[in-house]
Amino acid sequence: FVEFIALIYLSYVKKKMQDAGLFTKWTLQGLMDELDAIELFESPEHGRLLGEVTQKQKDIYVALGVDPPSL
């Protein structure tokens, strides 16, 4: 079941990439690897802390029609 949900998610991302013309610069795996580097840390003293989001990652989010992450 989890694999089926993951396949739906990947199909959605692939469609958004096609619509945004991102396949000229990225492969699906390369895009996912780039976005996978974003980290979120949580501690009782400081709450949630978002790791650095690079300009390249922000550009990908904007191209996909998603607000870049920020906390």
- Label residue 6 by pLDDT band (50, 70, 90): very high
pLDDT in tens, 19-51: 999 999 999 999 999 988 888 889 888 888 888
pTM, to two decimals:
0.75
CA dist 36 and 70 (Å) reads 15
CA dist 31 and 22 (Å) reads 9
Report DSSP state, residue 21.
T
Are residues 51 and 40 in contact, defined by beta-carbon separation less than 8 angstroms?
yes
Containing 41, the helix (H) or strand (E) segment is: strand 40-43
Using alpha carbons only, what angle is made at residue 61 by residues 57 and 63, rounded to the nearest 5 degrees? 115
